[in-house]
Amino acid sequence: MEQVNLSNNLIKHYADHLRLELSLSENSVEAYCHDIHLFLQYLESQHHSTLITDITQDTVENFFAYLYDLNIGATSQARILSGLKSFYRYLIQEDLAEKDPCALITSPTLGRHLPEVLSVEEIQKMIDSIDLSQPTGHRNKAMIEVMYGCGLRVSELIGLQISNIYRKDGFLRIIGKGSKERLVPIGDSSLKILYQYIEGARLQIKPQPKFTDTVFLNQRGTGLTRQTVFLLVKELAERNGIQKPISPHTFRHSFATHLLEGGANLLAVQQMLGHASVSTTEIYTHISDELLRETLVDFHPRLKKH
């Protein structure tokens, strides 16, 4: 089979197919092609091969984890998945691909759903399993500590600046969605681990000019990508036998859920998360309700599972 790259030219041929063979409206053609362009841009941003034969189910799953971390909703994700499947039907029909890497990927559940949450024990196992003898060990440990300890989005984590750490006061200045700023408290233990990295392993790296103030660096002295953090989380979960479908955002969900389970004020959690509306934060109270129901079923003598 001919080796073909996913390219703008290939997408153009696909658009012609949608117009001429399927008689789709111009709006529909543009929508389908927009989603394929989004996938191509993702591959290029991750320096992933654009050869059709090199795109696997894992590639597509990582793409959707990336969309999830960008807070792209389930409805949009379902539409994008439908577009990718349509595109692969075309590639197979044209003998440009042998199989569809999207075939076994199910559409995201539409409507409000409860996000996955890690237990405190699971998070501690992941942190404890990080190999601190490796060059990136202290960095990775600090990243997980700060993500969970402060409830940060992955974009906020990789964009954190040293100048925005108020060490004496125990706060981080976070630039969130829409460039909105907020102050987030950081606990003493998380702050200690963060500075063990900043004043230790990070000093061994020469930052590139644009990244002198960036906290988390790769070995080349540049900032990290969302994909790097996603792969770290996935690897730590697999290493510790955690079967839940988790991503960096799971630590943010866990942060909020554990605070509310401990009796934290809902408005305070909303402020720390940077949610514009308290209704967004309220989903975590539903998670707590579910856990209470599970506890009742598991431990009440008349309801206990057998």
Phi and psi, residue 111, nearest 5°? 90, 180
- Report pLDDT for 121: 95
- Report pLDDT for 245: 79
Which two tokens mark 119? 């237990």
SS (H, E, C) the chain: CCCCECCHHHHHHHHHHHHHCCCCCHHHHHHHHHHHHHHHHHHHHCCCCCEHHHCCHHHHHHHHHHHHHCCCCHHHHHHHHHHHHHHHHHHHHCCCCCCCCCCCCCCCCCCCCCCCCCCHHHHHHHHHCCCCCCCCHHHHHHHHHHHHHHCCCHHHHHCCEHHHEECCCCEEEEECHHHCEEEEECCHHHHHHHHHHHCCHHHHCCCCHHHCCECCECCCCCECCHHHHHHHHHHHHHHCCCCCCCCHHHHHHHHHHHHHHCCCCHHHHHHHHCCCCHHHHCHHHHHHHHHHHHHHHHHCCCCCCC
Q: Residue 104: inside a domain, yes or no?
A: no
My answer on whether 137 and 230 are in the same domain is yes
Do residues 118 and 250 touch, judged by C-beta distance below 8 A? Answer: yes
Q: Residue 246: inside a domain, yes or no?
A: yes
Q: Residue 110: inside a domain, yes or no?
A: no
My answer on whether 18 and 157 are in the same domain is no
Q: Residue 207: inside a domain, yes or no?
A: yes
300 pLDDT higher than 70: no
My answer on whether 57 and 128 are in the same domain is no
Q: Which is it for the CA torsion 143, 149, 151, 152, positive or negative?
A: negative
Residues with catalytic roles: 153, 177, 249, 252, 275, 284
Lowest pLDDT segment from 70-79, 240-249, 257-266, 290-299: 290-299
Boundary-marking domain end, from 44, 74, 93: 93
Identify which has the larger pLDDT, 161 or 106: 161
Q: List the CATH number of the domain containing 35.
A: 1.10.150
Q: Residue 103: inside a domain, yes or no?
A: no
- Confidence band (pLDDT; 50, 70, 90) for 176? confident
- Report pLDDT for 301: 56
- Confidence band (pLDDT; 50, 70, 90) for 235? very high
Domain residue limits at 237:
120-299
- Report pLDDT for 108: 65
My answer on whether 190 and 80 are in the same domain is no
My answer on whether 82 and 144 are in the same domain is no
Q: Residue 100: inside a domain, yes or no?
A: no
Residue-wise pLDDT tens digits, 88-130: 999 999 889 989 999 888 776 544 455 678 999 999 999 999 9
My answer on whether 205 and 294 are in the same domain is yes
Cα 142 from Cα 205, distance rounded (Å): 16
Q: How many other CB atoms are found less than 10 A from the CB of residue 155?
A: 17
**Average of per-residue pLDDT values in the chain:** 85
My answer on whether 198 and 264 are in the same domain is yes
Cα 269 from Cα 283, distance rounded (Å): 12
Residue-wise pLDDT tens digits, 261-291: 788 777 887 878 887 666 666 666 654 555 4
- Report pLDDT for 266: 78
Q: How many domains does the chain have?
A: 2
My answer on whether 80 and 133 are in the same domain is no
Residue-wise pLDDT tens digits, 16-66: 999 898 888 888 899 999 999 999 999 998 889 999 989 998 899 888 888
Lowest pLDDT segment from 20-24, 128-132, 196-200, 220-224: 20-24
My answer on whether 232 and 269 are in the same domain is yes
pTM for the whole structure? 0.59
Average pLDDT over residues 152-160: 92
Q: Residue 216: inside a domain, yes or no?
A: yes
My answer on whether 187 and 290 are in the same domain is yes
Q: List the CATH number of the domain containing 252.
A: 1.10.443.10
My answer on whether 87 and 127 are in the same domain is no
My answer on whether 20 and 135 are in the same domain is no
Distances (CA, A) of 290 to 20, 102, 151, 293, 294: 51, 32, 21, 5, 6
Q: Residue 105: inside a domain, yes or no?
A: no
